[in-house]
Amino acid sequence: MNMDLMYDETEPTSTRYVGFVGSYGRFDLAILQTNHFYGKKLVICLQTNRCAILDQSEAEHAPYIQEVFQLRSEEEAEELSNFLSHNI
């Protein structure tokens, strides 16, 4: 098998697990902070296994949040975007 290893690093991370129910949906998230993503946070939806590497401005952009987490409605995306913009 021909494989070029690009990186193999181990580092400590900080992980926050958050679950909340809003007006439009329930969210169970893991938010990881690491130096590997240059100040961005890795946000994982534990229900769908979808994830995104986000900074503050990306978290505030509800259409992007809707696309990356494949949310059903704009309202659901606004709700998650609002939470993330205040919590990452």
C-alpha span between 61 and 35 (Å, rounded): 23
C-alpha span between 82 and 54 (Å, rounded): 13
- Residue 64: the pLDDT is 98
Summarize pLDDT for 14-71 with one digit per residue, the tens: 999 999 999 999 999 999 999 999 999 999 999 999 999 999 999 999 999 999 999 9
| pLDDT above 90: residue 1 | no
Q: Answer whether 51's CB lies under 8 Å from 65's CB.
A: no
| pLDDT above 90: residue 81 | yes
pTM: 0.91
